[in-house]
């Protein structure tokens, strides 16, 4: 948490709690003390987290994001692929180090919605690709998968170098693709021998990749990748919860004790986490940047989906945070059903009355027309289930014509029925009006 200025704290204190911006609360607009008192720091940290949790969020923004994704799908077709996934556990994203050091959370600066940056999405898919490379033994498969990975995620000149950094070659690997080629070596094998395995594989595989690269890109030194990984936003606000990480051996870890014993005082550290709401879907979108390699987007989707379900995203995934369940097929079915319902509502709202039916209703006496309209006066929870199921009365055009007749030709009857507490006629008219998205003035 970044300490707020005096002026910021004064302005913040004048805003009603529920009207404070969640995004501002997460970026330092909070009441933190200037002293070094440990208890004061803990209290202020808890207050800061609660300000984030209780802060205002503009959840309608999720609808804008979904509309944007649908517009991309309509424009680019199979070049745009979406994954819809729900959190199985809480999510920690953008914590800026370990959660013990910082309590950051990734919120949209305008709307306050939690989201996953595209860089994190791309990083997860790339991680799974590297894991797959590490498990391949056949050189042809290994070379093809490496080539596909480079096309999807791009590269810099360092990604194409074997060996390690440093003057003596003992530093971190130049390329994690090179590193992956020895990841399955026995754990007790010395590093030099494991690196020899990597070098041997790299010598056999890289020439194939280099030939492919030269035939497609000529002398390009770096490439951004053929697939764009968009940030993932939820379709509603999943909520934010208070989490606790508890250090039981502060003095031991701080070097004040030689041994960790159970007589030390625990030090609970609070931090915000995105709630695991099963009713909220995060929508991940992959967009192909050209038509030359259309199959790459589907491969990237496979890697990303596997990563979400089997690796997790964000911080502390080994502790169970950030794991998702891919609900794409289920969501697509629900979305198709919702679209069908919306189209049905549009068709019903655009339905015109039949003039001949309206004329027939005009000729009916009061008793007969009331007998017809009362058939549609079933209580709200039973509407349509007990409406006429056969004959002309079951037809939409008949029902909308009946409503039109009452609203245009029997206005006095409608006004009189409005003044009755339990009018069957008004209940029937309201039921029909609701079904066909009409208004009774």
277-300 pLDDT per residue, tens: 999 999 999 999 888 888 899 999
Contact 105, 49 (CB under 8 A): no
Helix (H) or strand (E) holding 203: helix 191-217
pLDDT tens digits for 397-430?
999 999 999 999 999 999 999 988 889 999 999 9
- Residues 157-182 have a mean pLDDT of 91
Residue 206 has pLDDT above 50, yes or no: yes
Contacts of 305 (CB under 8 A, 6+ apart): 83, 85, 326, 328
- pTM for this predicted structure: 0.79
pLDDT at 8: 73
Q: Which residues, in sequence order, are bridge partners of residue 286? A: 81, 229
**21 SS3 class:** strand
Contacts of 270 (CB under 8 A, 6+ apart): 42, 45, 46, 49, 103, 242, 243, 244
Q: Quick one: pLDDT band at residue 99, thresholds 50, 70, 90?
A: very low
Q: Quick one: pLDDT band at residue 12, thresholds 50, 70, 90?
A: confident
Residue 214 has pLDDT above 90, yes or no: no
The domain ranges of the chain are: 1-56, 57-154+224-350, 351-435
* Alpha carbons 292 and 225: distance in angstroms, whole number: 12
pLDDT at 73: 93
The residue behind tokens 């309608």 is 60
The tokens describing 47, both together, are: 């207050």
**437 SS3 class:** coil
The residue behind tokens 């940290």 is 45
- Residues 198-208 have a mean pLDDT of 94
Residue 319 has pLDDT above 70, yes or no: yes
Contacts of 12 (CB under 8 A, 6+ apart): 4, 20, 24, 29, 30, 31
Could you tell me the end-to-end alpha-carbon distance of the chain, in angstroms, rounded to an integer? 55
pLDDT tens digits for 22-57?
887 777 655 555 444 555 566 777 777 888 888 888
Helix (H) or strand (E) holding 274: strand 267-274
* Alpha carbons 210 and 215: distance in angstroms, whole number: 9
Nearest alpha carbon to residue 103 among 95, 92, 111: 95
């Amino acid at each position: 948490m970044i300490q707020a200025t005096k002026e910021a704290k004064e302005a913040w204190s004048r805003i009603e709690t529920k009207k404070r911006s969640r995004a501002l609360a997460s970026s330092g607009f909070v009441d933190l003390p200037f002293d070094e008192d440990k208890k004061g720091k803990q209290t202020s940290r808890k207050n800061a987290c609660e300000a984030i949790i209780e802060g205002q969020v503009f959840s309608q923004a999720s609808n804008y994001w979904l509309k944007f994704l649908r517009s991309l799908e309509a424009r680019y077709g199979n070049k745009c692929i979406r994954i819809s996934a729900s959190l199985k556990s809480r999510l920690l994203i953008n914590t800026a180090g370990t959660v013990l050091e910082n309590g950051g959370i990734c919120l949209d600066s305008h709307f306050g919605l939690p989201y996953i940056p595209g860089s994190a999405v791309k990083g997860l898919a790339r991680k799974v690709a590297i894991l797959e490379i590490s498990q391949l033994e056949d050189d042809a498969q290994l070379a093809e998968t490496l080539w596909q990975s480079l096309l999807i995620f791009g590269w810099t000149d360092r990604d194409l170098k074997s060996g390690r950094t440093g003057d003596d070659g003992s530093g971190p690997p130049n390329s994690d693709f090179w590193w992956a080629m020895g990841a399955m070596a026995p754990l007790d094998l010395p590093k030099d021998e494991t690196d020899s395995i990597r070098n041997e594989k790299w010598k056999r595989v890289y020439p194939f990749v280099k030939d492919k690269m030269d035939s497609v890109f000529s002398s390009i030194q770096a490439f951004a990748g053929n697939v764009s990984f968009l940030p993932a936003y939820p379709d509603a606000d999943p909520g934010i919860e208070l989490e606790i990480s508890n250090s039981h051996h502060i003095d031991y870890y701080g070097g004040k004790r030689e041994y960790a014993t159970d007589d030390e005082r625990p030090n609970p550290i609070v931090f915000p986490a995105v709630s695991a709401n099963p009713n909220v879907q995060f929508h991940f979108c992959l967009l192909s940047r050209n038509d030359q390699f259309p199959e790459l987007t589907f491969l990237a989707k496979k890697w990303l989906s596997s990563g979400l379900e089997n690796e997790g995203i964000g911080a502390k995934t080994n502790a169970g945070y950030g794991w998702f369940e891919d609900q794409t097929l289920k969501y697509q079915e629900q979305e198709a059903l919702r679209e069908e319902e919306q189209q049905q509502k549009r068709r019903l709202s655009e339905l015109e009355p039949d003039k001949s039916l309206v004329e027939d209703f005009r000729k009916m006496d009061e008793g007969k027309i009331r007998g017809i309209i009362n058939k549609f006066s079933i209580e709200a929870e039973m509407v349509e289930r007990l409406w006429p199921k056969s004959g002309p009365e079951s037809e939409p055009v008949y029902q909308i014509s009946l409503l039109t007749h009452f609203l245009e030709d029997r206005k006095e009857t409608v006004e009189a029925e409005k003044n009755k507490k339990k009018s069957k006629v008004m209940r029937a008219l309201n039921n029909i009006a609701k079904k066909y998205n009409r208004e009774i003035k």
